[in-house]
Structures are given as C-alpha cells and as structure tokens.
Amino acid sequence: IDFDLILENIKDLNSLVGEGISQIEHTPQGARLRRPEPLPLTLYQNGIVVGNGAFRPYQHPATQQCLQDIMDGYFPSELQPRYPDGV
C-alpha cells in the first residue's frame, strides 16, 4: 500500500470538495455559513477506520476497494450513496 500516494490523493480530493470553505445554508430566518463535516480516515499498520465505523483490516475486499479508489484519485465508491457530491 502506497501511503504517500493515499495521503497526496486525499489532499487533492479534499481540495475538490472545498475543504475549509464555508457553504451557505438556508434557514427559516435567512441563511448562515456552515462548514461541511469532515469524514475522518484513520490509517493503521494493519487496517483502517472510516468515520466512526469499525476497524477494517487491509485484507478485507471492501477495504482494498476503498484504498484502490483513493489511490486511483477517486472518492471511495462505498461513500457515493451518502455523499453524492464527494466528502
């Protein structure tokens, strides 16, 4: 697993979705600025944790697919239903 590539691609993907940039959220009283909630990805020697999810070993096929998506420069496909515009 190329951790340097993963970290570099995560940085690029974060800039695509406007990391650190507030978005306008409309409210009944008008509008306010809101920063999107980040989704943490924790890399360990033997696996990963996505968000508040369970530990996933690198040998697990879903973990391999997730990391392959990131190494290919894409958002993990498993997150598309929850975050259709990226996360």
Note whether residue 34 is domain-resident: yes
pLDDT in tens, 43-84: 999 999 998 899 999 999 999 999 999 999 998 999 888 877
Q: Give the pLDDT score at 87.
A: 58
> What values do phi and psi take at 4, rounded to 5?
-60, -40
Reading the block at residue 84, the tokens are 């259709």
Note whether residue 15 is domain-resident: yes
Q: What is the CATH number of the domain that holds 25?
A: 3.30.420
pLDDT in tens, 20-47: 667 788 889 888 887 777 789 999 999 9
Query: How many domains would you assign to the chain?
Result: 1
- Order of strands across the sheet that contains 56-57: 41-43, 47-50, 56-57
Q: Where does the pLDDT of residue 5 fall: very low under 50, low under 70, confident under 90, or very high at 90 and above?
A: very high
**Separation between Cα atoms, residue 63 and residue 58, nearest integer Å:** 6
Note whether residue 32 is domain-resident: yes
Residue 18: left (phi > 0), alpha (psi -120 to 50), or beta? left
Note whether residue 87 is domain-resident: no
Domain extent, residue 17, equals 3-82
Note whether residue 76 is domain-resident: yes
pTM of the model: 0.75
